[in-house]
């Protein structure tokens, strides 16, 4: 084992959720509750064009007719949607010319999180869009990106500055009536990131959005839209944290990705919402709809996710493989500990010819948690020569947790090849013995083995994220040995 | 009494029918049965038939068969005297204790109860209700829970006859017991056979169950089979489903295994209309072995839905599921397998595999192999594949001068043989092998293995003279 890895393990095995602090910011908050007036007020506050208000109200009316899904392998008390604050934003000056104008408390917050908003201090080129509670506070490196014609800004700015693009693409991948949480999000989303890569441009920086829930009793509803024009490439990172609170908080986001001909989008998430304490109190309810469409031929969308946070995770990043020869990938590590519950997986919808998809999912459950993989591979009649490979493994640490696999395979085409394999097992005694014999204590040995187990997925993460993810894995599993 | 069931609300009609006829038809029941029927019909009234909105029934639609008109019989049909002669199976070398059910009623010999060597009882459930109330009360209705299961509830409410097998402790049944379940009626028929099979300690039973239809009329069968396998016993269950295209067959099998028991079930579906097999295994002891195999060869509009639950309730058990299918034309296949490993069911080994070959772009397969695991010291795996015949193997054979057709047959036979090889009764295995080859060539009709050789133009009912039979 290298020294680096040892340092990481040493550092992390002695800590709990370190992002659980709360920043006292001056906030602009709507009263609790949701009705058409809330939506009108929200839309007015954001100075949105009429089509946005129309869109929101339609979504809200749809939402009212829908039922909260109950098919997931999750147990949680019912959510009172009137007991949530639908808009909370740090008070700020209308226009931010430079970093000096950002609330110093806020900069401090992000520094604590290890996210520097100061461009000069960055070593590697990562452009960050920081979203706190309901609004985006700062997007870095905008000028550099603008030189390439790339638009990377908060969703609100995009609505103001590029309403044509927003109107053209928004909700084309996830329609407002797609599901209960998507409808809710479409009605009340407050901000998010918007990213447009023009034809033939290879984005020189990693684009990153950092989400933070700060205020109490707030729901976070953000919306991300990524459009990759013909022949373009972008790698996109998303991170998220929340303060440790004893009550649950709702997060219902939408991510839409559109990849045109020959375009490639790589979307990586390290999800680290507050998972609740050891007794299962508090934590974020995470109900997210993420979907990408490979619209053009030879396009590619790749999802990589490391899930360590949230009390409840309900999330199925999907790819619609519409273009011929398009590729969809899904790499996931989901860790649950204590009382966390995760029901996560992916959907690969094969429509075009010669489409390929790969699914690698690694679930790790510890404590009293439940971790489910739920996935769909669908091949329609005209998807000639479709190819799918799915591997979903589960690792069980302890005899009070659960690991479940619910794959769905639907095939209508005789030329397709679909393979699914899954295993569930615990950490091998032999491996543990080997480590312990060499003086590595049980906890570190488990962290080591788990990291090895997850490596297949972690290697798909950008370097900085991979390091963070490795640390997270160890923290999340801390105290699970017993 | 015969009752015509009309389409508009099958559920209401059945509930009504129950209350109308309860006095007349079920009056001789003992109090235990009476109570059971009463509770079951209440449950059915609450739950009803499964609909496509239910997760487990997403891919099998009952609304079409439930729209038809059926006749429900409350009394047995005219009896046939010599079953052995009439239903001589084409598996010539197969020595078996042969019994038959006609339109859901056990064909009586010796007053409905047959005593085989060693105190083994094989006979009609209706007779067992009367003659062995103590066994019925101990086992009947104990393994197939009707709660939240409309089909089991409906069967429990109406069940009148079916197969009853009781194997006492320490008895090995010398020959396989073979049941031929025939449907032969000129009207659309709704029947609900109920089977109860009890294996005592250290006993062994091989059961061969064949479902056939003779006439091309719509039939709807909702059967429930309860099997109890006591400690150290061994049970083999072969099921041959060779139906016509207009029949809907729903089988609900509930098997409970005690410690050190062995169980093998092999469902061979060669010609279904619409078939739904619900197979539920409860491993309620230690060191149990459960092997579940299934083969389905479908074409035209045929539909098979194998829904398997293996419940590892106790530690140290082994289960293996292997289901394979070849789908042609517009056929639709479904595999829904769930391995449940309960808390503290440590040292569980559970495997699950579903493999499919689609021959056309119009056939559809839905494969959902699922694991639900609450214990940590387990080895569980599942796999599912959908594909075509191996191109390289094909090329290998073609390059050696084997024609494409022969090569295809060889590969399909090889694919199916993984299931057929699991048949432990040799003559049966050979016969099935033949039948599968024939089926794959498209030559097997539903009448093929039946000695009656009836054709549409020469309809046979069972009161005809038997001279025309070879």
- What are the tens digits of pLDDT across the range B254-269? 999 999 999 999 999 8
Q: What pLDDT score was predicted for residue A335?
A: 87
**pLDDT level of residue B207 (50, 70, 90 thresholds):** very high
- Whether B317 maps to a domain, the answer reads yes
**First-to-final CA distance of chain A:** 24
Model pLDDT, residue B460: 36
The answer to whether the Cβ–Cβ distance between B346 and A404 falls below 8 Å is: no
pLDDT tens, position by position, for chain A (482 residues)?
445 544 543 444 334 666 666 666 667 778 888 889 889 988 988 888 999 999 999 999 999 999 988 888 888 888 888 888 888 776 654 444 455 555 666 666 666 666 555 544 444 445 666 766 656 656 667 778 888 899 988 888 899 999 999 999 999 999 998 999 999 999 998 888 899 999 999 988 888 887 777 666 777 888 999 999 999 999 988 877 766 777 788 889 999 999 999 999 999 888 888 888 877 788 888 999 999 999 999 999 999 988 887 889 999 999 999 999 999 999 998 988 888 999 999 999 999 999 999 999 999 888 889 999 999 999 999 999 999 999 988 988 888 889 999 999 999 988 999 999 888 888 888 888 899 899 988 878 888 888 888 888 888 877 767 777 777 777 666 665 54
Q: Residue B328's pLDDT is what?
A: 87
Q: What is the reported pTM? A: 0.84
Most confident of A112-126, B44-58, B320-334: B320-334
Contacts of B59 (CB under 8 A, 6+ apart): B305, B332, B334, B336, B366
Structure tokens at A371: 């971790």
Chain B neighbors of A408, CB-CB under 8 A: 366-368
**Which pLDDT belongs to residue A11?**
46
What are the structure tokens assigned to B118, written together?
């060693």
In a domain, B410, yes or no: no
Largest CA distance in chain B: 72
Which residue of chain B comes nearest to A412, CA vs CA? B364
Closest in A402, A409, A417 to B366, CB measured: A409
At a CB cut-off of 8 Å and minimum separation 6, what does B341 contact?
B312, B348, B350, B371, B372, B373, B374, B375, B378, B380
Per-residue pLDDT tens for B262-308? Answer: 999 999 988 788 999 999 999 999 999 999 999 998 888 899 999 99
Q: By residue range, what is the domain housing residue B77?
A: 2-388
Q: What is the pLDDT of residue B100?
A: 83
Contact at 8 Å (CB) between A280 and A310? Answer: no
**Chain mean pLDDT for chain B:** 84
Verify whether the Cβ–Cβ distance A404 to B365 is below 8 Å.
no
Structural domain count, chain B = 1
Provide the pLDDT for residue A136.
63
- Is B143 within the bounds of a domain? yes
B25 touches chain A (CB under 8 A): no
Give the pLDDT confidence score for residue B257 in this predicted structure: 96
Top-confidence residue, B464 or B236: B236
pLDDT band at B78 (very low <50, low <70, confident <90, very high): low
Is A405 in the B-facing interface, judged by CB distances under 8 Å?
yes
From the list A396, A412, A414, the residue facing B359 with the nearest CB is: A414
pLDDT computed for residue A360 by the predictor: 93
Q: Is B376 close to A426, i.e. CB distance below 8 A?
A: yes
Arithmetic mean of pLDDT, B5-19: 77
* B343 touching chain A per CB within 8 A: yes
Reported as a pLDDT band with limits 50, 70 and 90, residue B339 is very high
In which band, very low, low, confident or very high, does the pLDDT at B43 lie, cut at 50, 70 and 90? very high
Report the C-alpha gap between B236 and B167 in whole angstroms.
13
Which pLDDT score is estimated for B461?
35
Question: Looking at residue A220, what DSSP letter applies?
Answer: B
pLDDT, residue B445, reads 52
Nearest CA in chain A to B340: A404
Contact of A330 with A303, CB cutoff 8 Å:
yes
Contact B32, B137 (CB under 8 A): yes
To the nearest 10°, the Cα dihedral for B108, B110, B116, B119? Answer: 110
B454 assigned to some structural domain:
no
Cβ(B44)–Cβ(B14) below 8 Å: yes
CA proximity to A91, closest of A158, A145, A55, A45: A45
Question: Which stretch of DSSP H or E encloses residue A165?
Answer: helix A163-169
Q: Which residues of A touch B367 (CB under 8 A)?
A: 408-409, 411, 420
Q: Is the pLDDT of residue B225 over 50?
A: yes
Contact B368 A403 (CB under 8 A): no
Q: Is residue B448 part of a domain?
A: no
């Amino acid at each position: 084992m290298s020294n680096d890895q040892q340092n990481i393990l040493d550092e992390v095995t002695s800590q709990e959720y370190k992002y659980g602090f709360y920043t006292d910011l001056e906030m602009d908050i709507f009263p609790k509750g949701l009705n058409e007036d809330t939506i009108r007020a929200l839309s007015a506050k954001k100075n949105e064009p009429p089509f946005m208000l129309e869109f929101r109200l339609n979504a809200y009316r749809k939402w009212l007719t829908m039922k909260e899904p109950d098919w997931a392998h999750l147990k949680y008390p019912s959510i009172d949607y009137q007991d949530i604050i639908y808009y909370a934003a740090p008070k700020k000056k209308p226009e931010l010319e430079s970093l000096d104008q950002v609330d110093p408390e806020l900069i401090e917050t992000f520094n604590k999180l290890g996210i520097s908003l100061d461009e000069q201090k960055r070593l590697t080129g990562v452009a960050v869009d920081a979203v706190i509670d309901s609004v985006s506070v700062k997007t870095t490196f905008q000028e550099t990106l603008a030189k390439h014609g790339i638009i990377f800004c908060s969703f609100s700015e995009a609505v103001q500055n590029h309403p044509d693009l927003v109107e053209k693409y928004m909700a084309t991948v996830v329609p407002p009536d797609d599901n209960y949480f998507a409808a809710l999000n479409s009605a009340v989303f407050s901000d998010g990131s918007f990213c447009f890569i023009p034809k033939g441009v290879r984005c020189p920086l990693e684009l990153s959005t950092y989400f933070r829930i700060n205020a109490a009793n707030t729901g976070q509803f953000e919306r991300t839209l990524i459009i990759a024009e013909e022949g373009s490439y972008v790698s996109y990172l998303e991170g998220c944290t929340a303060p440790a609170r004893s009550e649950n908080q709702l997060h219902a986001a939408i991510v839409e990705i559109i990849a045109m001909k020959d375009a490639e989008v790589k979307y990586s998430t390290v999800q680290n919402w507050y998972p609740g304490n050891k007794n299962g109190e508090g934590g974020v309810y995470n109900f997210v709809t993420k979907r990408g469409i490979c619209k053009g031929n030879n396009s590619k969308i790749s999802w990589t996710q490391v899930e360590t946070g949230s009390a409840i995770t309900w999330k199925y990043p999907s790819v619609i493989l519409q273009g011929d020869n398009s590729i969809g990938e899904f790499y996931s590590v989901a860790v649950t500990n204590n009382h966390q519950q995760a029901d996560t997986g992916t959907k690969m919808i094969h429509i075009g010819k010669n489409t390929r998809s790969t699914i690698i999912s690694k679930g790790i459950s510890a404590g009293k948690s439940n971790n489910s993989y739920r996935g769909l591979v669908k091949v329609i009649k005209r998807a000639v020569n479709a190819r799918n490979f799915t591997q979903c493994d589960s690792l069980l640490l302890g005899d009070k947790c659960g690991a479940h696999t619910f794959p769905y395979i639907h095939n209508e085409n005789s030329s397709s090849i679909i393979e699914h394999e899954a295993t569930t097992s615990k950490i091998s005694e032999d491996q543990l013995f080997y480590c312990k014999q060499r003086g590595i204590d049980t906890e570190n040995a488990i962290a080591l083995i788990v990291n090895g187990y997850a490596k297949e997925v972690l290697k798909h993460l950008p370097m900085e994220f991979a390091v963070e993810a490795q640390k997270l894995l160890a923290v999340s599993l801390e105290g699970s040995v017993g | 009494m015969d009752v015509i069931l009309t389409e508009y609300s099958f559920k209401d009609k059945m509930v009504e029918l129950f209350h109308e006829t309860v006095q007349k038809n079920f009056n001789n029941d003992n109090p235990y049965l009476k109570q059971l029927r009463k509770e079951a019909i209440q449950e059915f009234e609450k739950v009803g038939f499964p609909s496509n909105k239910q997760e487990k029934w997403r891919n099998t639609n009952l609304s079409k068969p439930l729209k038809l008109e059926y006749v429900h019989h409350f009394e047995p049909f005219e009896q046939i005297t010599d079953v052995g002669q009439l239903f001589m199976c084409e598996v010539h070398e197969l020595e078996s204790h042969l019994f038959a059910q006609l339109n859901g009623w056990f064909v009586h010999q010796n007053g409905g109860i047959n005593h085989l060597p060693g105190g083994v009882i094989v006979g009609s459930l209706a007779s067992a209700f009367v003659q062995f109330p103590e066994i019925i009360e101990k086992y009947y209705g104990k393994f197939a829970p009707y709660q939240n299961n409309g089909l089991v509830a409906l069967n429990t409410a109406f069940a009148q006859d079916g197969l009853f097998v009781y194997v006492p402790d320490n008895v090995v049944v010398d020959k396989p017991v073979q049941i031929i379940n025939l449907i032969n009626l000129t009207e659309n028929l709704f029947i609900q056979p109920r089977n109860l099979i009890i294996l005592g300690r250290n006993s062994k039973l091989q059961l061969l169950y064949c479902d056939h239809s003779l006439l091309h009329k719509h039939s709807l069968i909702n059967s429930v089979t309860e099997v109890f396998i006591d400690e150290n016993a061994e049970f083999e269950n072969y099921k041959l489903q060779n139906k016509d295209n207009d029949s809907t067959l729903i089988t609900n099998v509930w098997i409970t295994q005690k410690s050190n028991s062995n169980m093998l079930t092999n469902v061979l579906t060669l010609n279904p209309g619409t078939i739904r097999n619900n197979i539920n295994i409860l491993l309620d002891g230690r060191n149990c072995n459960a092997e579940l195999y299934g083969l389905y060869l479908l074409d035209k509009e045929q539909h098979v839905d194998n829904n398997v639950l293996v419940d590892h309730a106790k530690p140290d058990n082994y289960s293996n599921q292997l289901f394979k299918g070849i789908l042609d034309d517009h056929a639709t296949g479904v595999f829904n397998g769930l391995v449940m490993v309960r808390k503290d069911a440590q040292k569980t080994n559970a495997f699950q595999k579903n493999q499919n070959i689609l021959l056309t772009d119009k056939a559809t397969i839905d494969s959902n192999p699922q694991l639900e695991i609450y214990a940590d010291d387990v080895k569980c795996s599942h796999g599912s594949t959908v594909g075509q015949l191996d191109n390289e193997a094909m090329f290998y054979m073609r390059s050696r001068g084997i024609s494409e057709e022969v090569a295809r047959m060889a590969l399909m036979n090889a694919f199916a043989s993984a299931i057929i090889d699991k048949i432990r009764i040799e003559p049966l295995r050979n016969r099935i092998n033949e039948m599968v080859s024939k089926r794959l060539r498209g030559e097997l009709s539903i009448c093929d293995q039946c000695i009656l050789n009836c054709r549409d133009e020469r309809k046979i009912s069972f009161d005809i003279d038997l001279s025309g039979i070879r």
